[in-house]
Amino acid sequence: MEHATSVPTGNYPAPGLVEPFPDLTPPSSTPGIRVGVLRESGKYSLIACESARAGAQLFLVDGEPTREASRYSVQVATHMHLDISDGIGLEEMLDSCYWRFMNHSCEPNARIEDQQVIAITDIGAGKEITFHYNTTESNMAEPFDCRCGSENCAGYIAGFSAATAGERERLRPWLARHLLPADAAPPGDVRGPATSVAAGAATEVAGP
């Protein structure tokens, strides 16, 4: 992730009580596609090396569980973020933490449910894989001005808690489970419109 979260808002355990982390999905249990990390003009992006249909599981977000968010962590539960381990080198990051290079789009082609990255539109080989940061992050540690160019561009990305009522409703089908109301069903297979950035062949190939 290019930008990540601060501590999420919501109901917290009483002082002195620490909730256990949810069970993590073993990496080997997840089907997926081959992806590549592309660096172009100083910007990294995650590229699909093969096509995927809407609803397909693309890969797993697997990292170090923590209650403290960082610039590159992804929030996967109310009190849990997944981050990159300290001291990890670029080669290992490209091989096992390539999810860190997913960029934001206000018209994404993927969403994150628990640890699963799921296509919400058909994704062609050579297309960038993006998700909307406000669909997983309660609060961004580093809010930013979005310039994705979408007609639905939110303009300022600061986390779901800072989104307008209209934007929250638009994002609802893509929301991670921990951002849904307690009585809401998990999102289903969504085939909404999305914009993808076409890119050349990936320079570094990684996969599950």
Round to whole Å and give the CA distance between 46 and 55. Answer: 18
Q: What is the DSSP string of 67-117?
A: SS--TT-EEEETTEEEEPPTT--HHHHHHH-GGGGPEE-SS-SEEEETTEE
One-character DSSP codes across 4-44: -B-SPPS--PPTT--PPPPPPPPGGG-----EEEEEETTEE
Q: How confident is the model at residue 58 (pLDDT cuts 50, 70, 90)?
A: very high
For the domain 28-206, what is the CATH code? 2.170.270.10
Contacts for 1 with CB less than 8 Å, ≥ 6 apart: 71, 72, 73, 74, 99, 100, 102, 104, 133
- The string of pLDDT tens digits covering residues 43-55 is 999 999 999 999 9
- The H or E element containing residue 169 is helix 165-171
Cβ contact 37:203 at 8 Å: yes
Q: What is the mean pLDDT of residues 24-38?
A: 71
Ordered by start, the domain boundaries in the chain are 28-206
pLDDT in tens, 128-164: 999 999 999 988 888 899 988 888 899 999 889 899 9
pTM: 0.74
- Return d(Cα 155, Cα 162) in angstroms, integer: 12
Q: What angle do CA 2, 34, 52 make, to 5 degrees?
A: 90
Q: Which two tokens stand for residue 95?
A: 């091989």
Per-residue pLDDT tens over the stretch 3-18: 433 333 333 333 344 4
